[in-house]
Structures are given as structure tokens and as C-alpha cells.
Amino acid sequence: MGEPQVKSLELRVERNGGSAAGTIDVDNIGFVGSIHNNMTIVPADPGAVASVDAYTGWVYYNAGRYEKAPYIKIVKTATGNAFYDTILYPGAKGMSPKVTVTRLGVSENGTALSPSQASGLQMTITDGGHTYTDTYLIAHDGAGTTRQYGSYTYNGSKAYIRSENGVVTQTVTDPGATLTP
């Protein structure tokens, strides 16, 4: 597989806090002048994040403009391909939701798959006294094969499931795909 290499992902943000687990709370993310621009960034594999640093530098915007702006750099050390399955949770300025992400095991015919083939992410979100669970299922190599994502079986390329108090309240799947709990 080779020696570990440093892989980095850069996002333009203004940071207002964070945690040792790699969660980053930001006041601004996105384009200058955006009014809905507040976000919490939560990596699916916080133990694999080597560092999270804030910088000020030149950021490329639409229409070929570069502007001086703050950004963060998330560094991950990995052998082979590196994957940044990351949750971006938007909210109001000064928000403080609790967002936790768990990577679901993904398998096909009993064989475990890598994140390059498929990802299953489950988030528990507590915001404003309300707690709910969102689950995302993503087949990176296309649809059509039935796979096990944690407790779900699915044959599409992507799906979203929202649960409240253990009851599924919303699902979004590919047309014609089958999702079973």
C-alpha cells in the first residue's frame, strides 16, 4: 500500500470554536455576502484527522475573483486513497447543536466494503432541545447491487432516512430502488 501520505481538504470558513475530536463550528462558510452561511463541520472519522488549522489566504470565488479570506485546512494521514466523509450541518449564527457522526459498516454478500465503494453515515443531531437521527447511504461505484448498510439493506446509489425516537419519519431514495430496515 505504500507509505502514509498527507491528504488535505480546504474549506473557506471563519471559525468560532471546535473540539479535539475534529468538529469545527464556524460563523461563516461559503461566498462573501451569503446570509445563510453558518455551519458545523463534523468528520466521519475524527481519529484519522491529523490537524485542523485556520489560515487567512487568497480564496477563489465565482467570476475568476480572488479575495483575501479565512479558511480552514483539515489534514488527514492515510495510506492509499483518502476519503473525507464529512457532515456539513447548517444553522443560525451563534448556533451550538450537538452533532455526532457514526460510520456504518457496509457489506455486500457478507464482504466488508471500503469507503471508496460505499459509505453509510448516521448522525445524531440535538438542536434547540430536539434530537433526531439522519442516515445517509451512498454507493460510490453506482447503483444496482444490494448492500447492507448497518441495519438497512439498499440497492440504489443514495438514500436518506430521518428517524425521531426510533420511528422513521422521512425517506428519500432513488426511483425504483428498494430500502428495507
Over residues 95-130, the pLDDT tens digits come to: 667 788 889 999 998 999 888 888 999 999 887 778
Q: How confident is the model at residue 86 (pLDDT cuts 50, 70, 90)?
A: confident
As a dihedral over the C-alpha atoms of residue 142, residue 133, residue 23, residue 106, rounded to 10 degrees, the angle is -30
For residue 129, which amino acid is it?
A: G
Give the whole-angstrom CA distance, residue 103 versus residue 163.
17
Please provide the average confidence, as pLDDT, over all residues in the chain. Answer: 74
Residue 63, Cα to own-chain centre: how many angstroms? 28
Give 94's pLDDT tier (boundaries 50, 70, 90): low
User: How far from the centroid of its chain's Cα atoms is residue 17's Cα?
Assistant: 18
Q: What does the pLDDT read at residue 70?
A: 66
38 vs 17: CA distance, rounded Å = 12
pTM for this prediction:
0.69
